[in-house]
Structure 1
Amino acid sequence: MSQSLQFLDLFAGAGGLSEGFIQAGFEPVAHVEKDEAACLTLQTRMTWHWLRKRDELEPYIHYLEGKIDRQSFHSFAPSSVSNSVIHSTIGDDTLRNIFSRIDAQLGDRKLDLIVGGPPCQAYSLVGRSRHARGMRGDPRNYLFRYYAEFLNRYKPRYFVFENVLGLLSARDEGGVLYFDMMRKLFREYGYETEYQILSAENHGVLQGRKRIILIGKHGLGKDFYPEIPVVPSQFTVHEAFRDLPFLRAGEGDVRRAERSPLPLDAWLYKTEIRKDSLPLTWHCARPHAERDLIIYHQAVSLWNKEKRRLTYNELPQSLQTHRNRESFLDRFKVVADNLPCSHTVVAHIAKDGHYYIHPDIRQNRSLTPREAARLQSFPDDYYFEGRKDTPSRTAAFTQIGNAVPVLLAKTIATTMKEKCL
């Protein structure tokens, strides 16, 4: 048996799932992801982990301070670290090359686990409601078939497949559930499967986010699903924001922000999200039109006074610009800091901040990428890259919204570690 448990992350995104498994003691062999910005984020994070193990994080600080560029920072780790991030779509024409690159990274080691889940847009209820044919015929519906090809090639003892609740009801053109289809295919490849619906707020995350976690085991067997403990939250969403500097719309710094002192029993310390020895990044607020700022102020004021959400039709006619008055009436929503969890952070936050209004009426803005990242339980030292050398707030928001909460991933990984050993 190898000294550490090796895993492969498919459809890896910016690495929320992977980060949780790394924190639990697993070692990533490779990540496969089609989005270029997310791959660059993964390369930066894998370089960070390589330096962290050697207690040599000064180059990371220099990178954030602009003293060295991204390529120079990545060069502080062996080329195998960056090469472990495979920027590629997964399909018939790419499988052979992806396998070859994973094989080179794996060497003579055995893969213990495969994690990841295909893009959720094709299965999500929102995605299907907005699509003329309910996402039927979308090729993303069948990406699980490629997942099975990785299982067939590497035959890990277990796999962890994550996706949205809509997967339980999404059907193909013949009315067959995709979920049943994929479980049948996994069984044909030698894997029994069991699943649960896990909600992030039950596992230390200050966000309500329900996901299907399907676990597969190679060979015959049942009742192998790990006992994943529920940890009731003793904190409110306020804990995610309480130490961050005051910002108004358009203010802040991508590279560095100062944090206020906190007691050692604060949520940020208990979860190891905050580390005072390293800079905090991405606390920068997007600018907003004056009309939106007026609406934000009204939404926060209504919540503060009545603990009630603003509906779109309550706005004065002068502030209403959307013709649709029948659906999506909660498009302006406050991230209430006096609740035990926020509503779900999704990738749409990259398009506008209307659904993620900061609860402090004085700041009167939407969340910063760092605030959203904290709701996803990413460590403060997690830096989100853009496709170019210059930072991209849109790319950061997209990566954060698409991610698996790190603390949820770590909880799953900790229980899976006992199974894999």
Structure 2
Amino acid sequence: MPDKLRFIDLFAGASGMSEGFIKAGFSPVSHIEMNPEACQTIKTRAAYHYLKSINKLDFYNKYIKKEINSEEFYREIPEKILNSVLNIEIDDKSIKGIFNKIKKSENNIDLIIGGPPCQAYSLLGRHQEDIEKDPRNKLYIQYGRFLKEFSPKAFVFENVPGMLSANKGQHFKNLKTYFKKLGYEVHHDTLNASDYGVVQARKRIIIVGWKKEIDLGFPEFEKTVLNFSVNDTFSDLPKLKPGEKYDVTNYTNSKNEYLEKSGLRNGVDFVTQHISRPHNNRDLEIYRRAIEKWDTNNERLKYPDLPEELKTHKNENSFTDRYKVVNGTGVSHTVVAHIAKDGHYYIHPDIEQCRSISVREAARLQSFPDDFYFEGSRSAAFKQIGNAVPPLMAFAIAKKMKELLCQI
């Protein structure tokens, strides 16, 4: 809509960052993402926002309840909405074509958001020489080409804290120098998602750039005092056994204060994708021991302490906390994409359930609302969730950016 601030979302993932900006009143012009399942998720969410704008969310609810198929669903969504999602890798060959597709829809862009894949800067298990050789380190240059082409008033760039130290800080220095050459003053800070209503300790670097003539510095984003826990976040979801799943089910309790204030349970009277992965007996026994140890002494299970019959790895010196219980009475540790591979690092705090967390539980820890639907397999959904920017954190950033942009 012409009265809204327009933005492009680069390396959009499942559009967690966009979700916060749309909630704050921004209008997306385009999402660019290379992962096909994530792109399908973005299209479904774009369809949600369109149907919400014309008061036809009942049709969306039919789709996520599997009462109609995807062909029937997308047939009712304007091509312009669906075509705004570009499933393509941003590189030297594709970038001009991407520019042209965006310009067919809109040429005036107020803001660019997004962050290149963060695994390149992850400190976990990476040798410095591997980090330096990883081509993803240079994706900020592609980001900059969008700044040069569309000349937005500002940008918001998100990444992991490891970005600051990669190559002894040289990568980050190069990034700032490059963006400055493009005409932007660059500011950054490390934010923790738990300061913005997310029940998760998740530190991220937020880089804000302003056109030099309108430099407003690093914004002061409004924090949320969080007096709620993981148990509050999971309180109304049905109990699950390992391997059990509810594609669609009812809530087991009414809304509590956190679910109301956060907007996670936001109008739908059912919950989707409450899906748990199966576990073998050995893993279940390890999970049980991990939960008991945490419940009894608030101590983490260390891999070397397991009896020999439960061990599967000879390496007892690294990744000793490979089995980790989510803290039910506090905030969760960081949810990352590895959750798609196994659930050992995200064991449910309830010993009666003794399993890793479900897709919907992971989504809630990332602050995705319950009507947000993830396309693809269970593993694809977990990966999208783990890679995402928490929407509530994005919303806090977006509210302040909107306030400042409207002053210009």
| TM-score, normalised with respect to structure 2 | 0.97
CA drift of 1:223 comes to: 5.1
The partner residue of 2:290 within 299, 304, 309 is: 299
**Retained in 2: the 8 A contact 1:61–1:278?**
no
CA drift of 1:62 comes to: 1.9
Q: Counterparts in 2 of 1:81-100, with a 5 A limit?
A: 81-100=81-100
Do structure 1's residue 415 and structure 2's residue 406 form an aligned pair?
no
- Distance between the aligned counterparts of 1:283 and 1:312, measured in 2? 29
Q: Corresponding residue for 2:120?
A: 122
Q: Residue 129 of structure 2: SS of its match in structure 1?
A: coil
The partner residue of 1:335 within 301, 313, 326 is: 326
Do structure 1's residue 247 and structure 2's residue 240 form an aligned pair?
yes
- Distance between the aligned counterparts of 2:394 and 2:114, measured in 1? 11
- Distance between the aligned counterparts of 1:176 and 1:301, measured in 2? 42
**Retained in 2: the 8 A contact 1:288–1:365?**
yes
Q: Corresponding residue for 2:7?
A: 7
Do structure 1's residue 275 and structure 2's residue 228 form an aligned pair?
no
CA drift of 1:281 comes to: 1.1
The partner residue of 1:211 within 194, 197, 204 is: 204
**Retained in 2: the 8 A contact 1:378–1:406?**
yes
Residue type matched to 1:105 in 2?
S
- Distance between the aligned counterparts of 1:132 and 1:323, measured in 2? 25
Q: Corresponding residue for 1:364?
A: 354
**Retained in 1: the 8 A contact 2:251–2:269?**
no
- Distance between the aligned counterparts of 1:71 and 1:208, measured in 2? 39
Residue type matched to 1:110 in 2?
N
Q: Corresponding residue for 2:72?
A: 72
- Distance between the aligned counterparts of 1:188 and 1:270, measured in 2? 42
**Retained in 2: the 8 A contact 1:278–1:381?**
no
Residue type matched to 1:330 in 2?
D
Residue type matched to 1:60 in 2?
Y
Do structure 1's residue 257 and structure 2's residue 242 form an aligned pair?
no
- Distance between the aligned counterparts of 1:103 and 1:202, measured in 2? 37
Q: Corresponding residue for 1:33?
A: 33
Aligned residues: 406
CA drift of 1:277 comes to: 2.8
- Distance between the aligned counterparts of 2:139 and 2:268, measured in 1? 41
| TM-score, normalised with respect to structure 1 | 0.94
Q: Corresponding residue for 1:389?
A: none
**Retained in 1: the 8 A contact 2:235–2:253?**
no
**Retained in 2: the 8 A contact 1:14–1:38?**
yes
Q: Corresponding residue for 1:314?
A: 305
The partner residue of 1:236 within 226, 229, 237 is: 229
- Distance between the aligned counterparts of 1:150 and 1:132, measured in 2? 29
Q: Corresponding residue for 1:164?
A: 160
Residue type matched to 2:174 in 1?
M
Do structure 1's residue 177 and structure 2's residue 152 form an aligned pair?
no
Q: Counterparts in 2 of 1:393-404, with a 5 A limit?
A: 393-404=378-389
**Retained in 1: the 8 A contact 2:251–2:270?**
no
Percent identity between the two aligned chains: 48
Structure with greater proportional helix content: 2
Residue type matched to 2:271 in 1?
L
The partner residue of 1:143 within 139, 144, 150 is: 139
- Distance between the aligned counterparts of 1:154 and 1:221, measured in 2? 16
Do structure 1's residue 134 and structure 2's residue 130 form an aligned pair?
yes
Q: Relative to 1, partners in 2 of residues 1:185 and 1:68: Cα closer, same or farther, differing over 3 Å?
A: same
CA drift of 1:131 comes to: 4.8
The CA deviation string for residues 300-328 of structure 1, in whole angstroms up to 9 with x for no partner, is 01111111110001110000111111010
Q: Residue 166 of structure 2: SS of its match in structure 1?
A: coil
Q: Which runs of 5+ in 2 are unaligned?
A: none
CA drift of 1:61 comes to: 2.1
**Retained in 2: the 8 A contact 1:369–1:393?**
yes
- Distance between the aligned counterparts of 1:276 and 1:230, measured in 2? 25
- Distance between the aligned counterparts of 2:8 and 2:151, measured in 1? 12
Cα RMSD of the aligned pairs, angstroms, is: 1.4
The partner residue of 2:375 within 372, 380, 385 is: 385
Q: Relative to 1, partners in 2 of residues 1:221 and 1:6: Cα closer, same or farther, differing over 3 Å?
A: closer
Q: Relative to 1, partners in 2 of residues 1:194 and 1:166: Cα closer, same or farther, differing over 3 Å?
A: same
- Distance between the aligned counterparts of 1:132 and 1:325, measured in 2? 23
